[in-house]
Amino acid sequence: MNKKKALIILPSYAIGGAEKVIWSYFNNFKNSNISLKLLVINAKDPQSRYKNKDIINLDFSRFIYAIPKIISIIKKENFNVVISTFPNTSALLLFLKYLNLIKIKIIVRQPNIIEKSLNGSLKLYILKLIYKYFIKFTDAVIVTSEYMKEEILNYNLNSEKIFLIRNPISIQKIRRGIIPIRTEADKIKLIFVGRLVYQKGIDRILHLFKSSHNIELIVVGKGSFKNELLKKVKNLNVENKIKFLGEIINPYSLIAGSDYFILPSRWEGLPNSVLESLALGTPVLSTKQIFSLNDFKKNISNKSIILFNDICDLSKKIYTLERRKDYKNPKLRKSLLIDHISPINFNNKINEIILKIV
């Protein structure tokens, strides 16, 4: 039997939550009936290029400029299926299929809530309209929560094409060799890890530290919103209670040493940071606005995920938080993650979809 040929398309070598999931699939891929390649549209930085015979590096700043080359590659190498995880890329691929310029099966992995994430500008609004119209021409859609599944059903998509697969995580890999790090042990430590952008909502919680003398926030990450956050911290006079550590490649020791991981986002798909925090034994504070976390019934029940009604509710109750018992000499706590999916199981599920639709 001839192998089915699959192609993943990524915009660049940037590593965000969505990219992490795709790289996990690619790096752990194994199937005797499928061959897999990955195409990177903007691989101009030679330092970031991976030397791998199964990676195709292109030098285009935007996907739209790469379309003729991508059409040529798909036809030349006779790919059977393409996997996309960003709405702009997915929408254009579906449009090309609609025009019959590419005759290929398309799997869309949707990383975020469409109605909330594609908002805020005319460009995003237009992209949302295009995505919502053409998504019905896909062959399979992967979502990460019940809420996302219900949302996409409203776009006239056949329910048989929708697959709910949560993000993969290797608990053993994340916990390996981790020694919890904690400074100023007497204070309650909250930690946030992620991009410093409007979506993540860090600006919504800074005021909490103005009247509290026993809580400290550690912020790990970089992004376009950082300067605005720093100004707000200065205006609130809470510079001694909020520490911006910048981007850290492996923040797991800091997460493991904290009392709680806090996620004040305005919206999310399924945040990898929450899964990683729970795997390290650190409880998570967030709001019911992060709909994907409502699916974690057992974690909510045992209070390893605490979902407040909204930021106002969080503001009222944050002062009732208690320190971990071993705060003076923190140890790596047991994993709190329940019903997770391993990278191998994740790969098997994706491969099953490929073989089903091709």
Q: Is residue 61 part of a domain?
A: yes
Q: Do 113 and 238 share a structural domain?
A: no
For the segment 284-305, what is each residue's pLDDT rounded down to a tens digit?
Answer: 999 999 999 999 999 999 999 9
Res. 315 pLDDT band, cuts 50 70 90: confident
Report the pLDDT value the prediction gives residue 184, as an integer from 0 to 100: 74
SS3 label, residue 273: helix
Distance CA 109, CA 87 (A): 9
Q: What is the CATH number of the domain that holds 13?
A: 3.40.50.2000
Q: Do 129 and 175 share a structural domain?
A: no
Q: Is residue 328 part of a domain?
A: no
Q: Do 195 and 263 share a structural domain?
A: yes
Q: Do 308 and 185 share a structural domain?
A: yes
Q: Do 135 and 189 share a structural domain?
A: no
What residues pair up with 109 in beta bridges, in sequence order? 142
Q: Is residue 66 part of a domain?
A: yes
Report the pLDDT value the prediction gives residue 2, as an integer from 0 to 100: 83
Q: Is residue 78 part of a domain?
A: yes
For the segment 228-276, what is each residue's pLDDT rounded down to a tens digit?
Answer: 999 999 999 999 999 999 999 899 999 999 999 999 999 999 999 999 9
Show the CA angle centred on residue 119, arms to residues 116 and 122, nearest 5°.
Answer: 165
Q: Do 297 and 284 share a structural domain?
A: yes
Res. 114 pLDDT band, cuts 50 70 90: very high
Cα-based distances in Å from 51 to 7, 57, 61: 17, 10, 20
For the segment 157-200, what is each residue's pLDDT rounded down to a tens digit?
Answer: 999 999 999 999 999 999 999 999 997 778 899 999 999 999 99
How many structural domains is the chain composed of? 2
CA dihedral 87→89→94→96, nearest 10 degrees, is 150
Domain that holds residue 205: 171-320
Q: Do 31 and 92 share a structural domain?
A: yes
Q: Is residue 82 part of a domain?
A: yes
For the segment 323-354, what is each residue's pLDDT rounded down to a tens digit?
Answer: 999 999 999 999 999 989 999 999 999 999 99
Alpha helices in 99-210 (DSSP H): 114-117, 122-134, 146-153, 171-175
From the list 33, 138, 35, 49, the residue with the least C-alpha distance to 85 is 138
What is the share, in percent, of the chain residues with pLDDT greater than 90? 85
Region 26-30: what's the mean pLDDT?
Answer: 93
Q: Do 306 and 234 share a structural domain?
A: yes
Q: Quick check: 1 pLDDT over 70?
A: no
Q: Do 297 and 180 share a structural domain?
A: yes
Report the pLDDT value the prediction gives residue 48, as an integer from 0 to 100: 56
Q: Do 229 and 133 share a structural domain?
A: no
**Residue in the structure block whose two tokens are 């609609």:** 98
Q: Do 283 and 245 share a structural domain?
A: yes
For the segment 29-42, what is each residue's pLDDT rounded down to a tens digit?
Answer: 999 999 999 999 99
Q: Is residue 296 part of a domain?
A: yes
Q: Is residue 334 part of a domain?
A: no
Give this prediction's pTM: 0.91
Distance CA 318, CA 212 (A): 10
Q: Do 216 and 150 share a structural domain?
A: no
Q: Is residue 258 part of a domain?
A: yes
Region 43-63: what's the mean pLDDT?
Answer: 79
